[in-house]
C-alpha cells in the first residue's frame, strides 16, 4: 500500500507534515470526525493522487487558533487531483481523470443539493448543513493537503477536465476552481455586479483578488480593492484594480477621489471575522468593521456579497459576543438603505464549470492575478508562516511533483 504524507494542525501557530493513513473507502475515527460518521462506507467515492492543494485563508483562521479545530486535524479543502482508484458504486469518473474537487462536500441526493445549494448539503455532516475537507465542525472528512485524499460521491462532486495535457499546462489556474475563484465570483454575483457596475472589494487577499477578477469577468467598469497591506494592494493594481489604503482611514473619502462620489453600486466582504479597524494606528481587531463600512459605501438599493468567513465559535474573539460570532452590526443602516446581504459557503458547483471554460479559453488569468506560487509539501509550514505575515501570494502545494516547472 502507498504511503501518505499530509499537513496537520498541531496547535496555535503550528503545522507539521506527518505520515498518515492511505485513504480507504470508509470514514475512520480521527481528529474532528463526528462519531456518527465513523465507519461510514464510501463506495461512491474516489481516491485521488493530489496534483495541487492550496493554502487558504480559512485554513489560516484555524492555524491561528481562532476556531475550535482539534490538534492533528489534517488540513486542506482546495484540492485538484488525478483519480487513482474508484469505489464500486462509481459509474462515470475513471482512473486517470484529472479533476477539480469543490471544497463543499455534497451528496447530490438531498433537497438542497437538488436545488444547487451544495454548500449546505443535508447528508454529509451530522452536526449541521454543509461540509468541507479538513475543516473544523464539518463532519470530519480528511483534508487534502496530502499526497492522497478520499473524495465521496465522486460522480457528483468531481469536475473532470476535458484534456489531461491542457489541464496540466494550466494547472495553476485550474487549481483555483476548488474554492477561491468560485468563492470570489460568488461574492461578485451576489453583490449584483453587472456590466458597468462600480464595485468595492474589502480585502486584497486571494479571495478578494478572485472577487475582483470575477467582477471584471461580469463587466464591472471600476473595481476598487481596500486593504492595509501595501504588497497586496500592489497585486490588485497589477491587473487593473483601483485601490484604497485603509491605514489612511475609512474607504469613503478615497472612493470619492476615485469615482467622484463616496458610493459604489456593489460591495464585497472578502475579509471575514478577523477584520481590523481602519485608520492610522489601526491594527486592533474590530470584527464588524468591514460589514459596517460596506453598508456605508454601498448605494441605497445595492447588495453585499459576503464570502468572507464568519464563525459561531472563536476562542480568540475580542469579547464574549465575538467569541460566539455575535457582532455589533449597524443593521439599521442596511435596513434604511434597503441593502441585500448574501452570506455562507459558496456553492462551488454552481460556477466551477463555467469558470473552467473561461480559464481553458484564455478569458481570465486567475493564477497570475492572485500570484499563485507552487511549493513542495514539506514547505507547507513555511508557506503558512509567510501567508500569515501577509505575503501577497497564493501558495499551491505540489505534493507529488506533478505541477510542471515554469
Compute the distance between CA of residue 156 and CA of residue 149 in angstroms, rounded to an integer. 16
Domain boundaries defined on the chain: 5-179+347-397, 180-342
Using a pLDDT cut of 90, give the percent of the chain over it.
Answer: 86
Would the pLDDT of 243 be above 70?
A: yes
pLDDT score at 221: 98
pLDDT score at 313: 81
Contact criterion met (CB below 8 Å) for 266 and 305: yes
pLDDT score at 160: 98
pLDDT band with cut points at 50, 70 and 90 for residue 121: very high
Q: How many CB atoms lie within 10 A of CB 19?
A: 8
Overall fold of domain 5-179+347-397: Quinone Oxidoreductase; Chain A, domain 1 (3.90.180)
Would the pLDDT of 305 be above 80?
A: yes
Contact criterion met (CB below 8 Å) for 308 and 191: no
pLDDT score at 406: 57
Mean pLDDT in residue range 311-321: 84
Q: Give tens-digit pLDDT for 2-32.
A: 789 999 999 999 999 999 999 999 999 999 8
Q: How many CB atoms lie within 10 A of CB 205?
A: 26
Q: Give tens-digit pLDDT for 357-387.
A: 999 999 999 999 999 999 999 999 999 999 9
Q: Give tens-digit pLDDT for 168-212.
A: 999 999 999 999 999 999 999 999 999 999 999 999 999 999 999
Tell me the CATH architecture of domain 180-342: 3-Layer(aba) Sandwich (3.40)
pLDDT score at 285: 82
Would the pLDDT of 87 be above 90?
A: yes
Contact criterion met (CB below 8 Å) for 367 and 406: no
Amino acid at each position: 500500500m502507498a504511503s501518505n504524507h499530509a499537513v496537520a494542525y498541531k496547535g496555535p501557530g503550528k503545522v507539521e507534515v506527518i505520515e498518515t493513513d492511505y485513504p480507504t473507502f470508509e470514514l475512520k475515527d480521527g481528529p474532528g470526525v463526528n462519531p456518527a460518521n465513523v465507519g461510514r462506507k464510501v463506495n461512491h467515492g474516489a481516491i485521488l493522487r493530489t496534483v495541487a492543494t492550496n493554502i487558504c485563508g480559512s485554513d489560516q483562521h484555524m492555524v491561528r487558533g481562532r476556531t475550535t479545530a482539534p490538534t492533528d486535524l489534517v488540513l486542506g479543502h482546495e484540492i485538484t487531483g488525478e483519480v487513482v482508484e474508484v469505489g464500486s458504486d462509481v459509474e462515470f469518473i475513471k482512473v486517470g481523470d484529472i479533476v477539480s474537487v469543490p471544497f463543499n462536500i455534497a451528496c447530490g441526493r438531498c433537497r438542497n443539493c437538488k436545488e444547487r445549494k451544495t454548500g449546505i448539503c443535508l447528508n454529509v455532516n451530522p452536526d449541521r448543513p454543509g461540509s468541507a475537507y479538513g475543516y473544523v465542525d464539518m463532519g470530519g472528512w480528511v483534508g487534502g493537503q496530502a499526497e492522497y485524499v478520499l473524495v465521496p460521491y465522486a460522480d457528483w462532486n468531481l469536475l473532470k477536465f476535458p484534456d489531461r495535457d491542457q489541464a496540466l499546462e494550466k494547472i495553476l489556474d485550474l487549481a483555483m476552481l476548488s474554492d477561491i475563484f468560485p468563492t470570489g465570483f460568488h461574492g461578485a454575483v451576489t453583490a449584483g455586479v453587472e456590466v458597468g457596475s462600480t464595485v468595492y472589494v474589502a480585502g486584497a487577499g486571494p479571495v478578494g483578488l478572485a472577487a475582483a477578477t470575477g467582477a471584471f469577468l461580469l463587466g464591472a467598469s471600476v473595481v476598487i480593492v481596500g486593504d492595509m497591506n501595501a504588497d497586496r494592494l500592489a497585486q490588485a493594481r497589477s491587473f487593473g484594480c483601483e485601490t484604497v489604503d485603509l491605514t489612511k482611514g475609512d474607504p469613503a473619502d478615497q472612493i470619492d477621489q476615485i469615482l467622484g462620489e463616496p458610493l459604489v453600486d456593489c460591495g464585497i466582504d472578502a475579509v471575514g471575522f478577523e477584520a481590523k479597524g481602519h485608520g492610522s494606528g489601526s491594527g486592533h481587531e474590530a470584527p464588524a468593521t468591514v460589514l459596517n463600512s460596506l453598508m456605508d459605501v454601498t448605494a441605497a438599493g445595492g447588495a453585499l456579497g459576503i464570502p468572507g468567513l464568519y464563525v459561531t465559535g472563536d476562542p480568540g474573539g475580542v469579547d464574549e459576543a465575538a467569541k460566539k460570532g455575535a457582532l455589533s452590526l449597524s443593521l439599521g443602516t442596511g435596513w434604511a438603505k434597503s441593502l441585500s446581504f448574501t452570506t455562507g459557503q459558496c456553492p462551488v458547483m454552481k460556477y466551477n464549470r463555467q469558470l473552467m471554460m473561461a480559464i481553458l479559453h484564455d478569458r481570465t488569468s486567475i493564477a497570475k492575478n492572485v500570484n499563485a506560487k507552487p511549493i513542495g509539501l514539506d514547505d507547507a509550514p513555511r508557506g503558512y508562516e509567510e501567508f500569515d505575515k501577509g505575503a501577497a501570494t497564493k501558495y499551491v502545494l505540489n505534493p507529488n511533483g506533478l505541477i510542471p516547472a515554469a
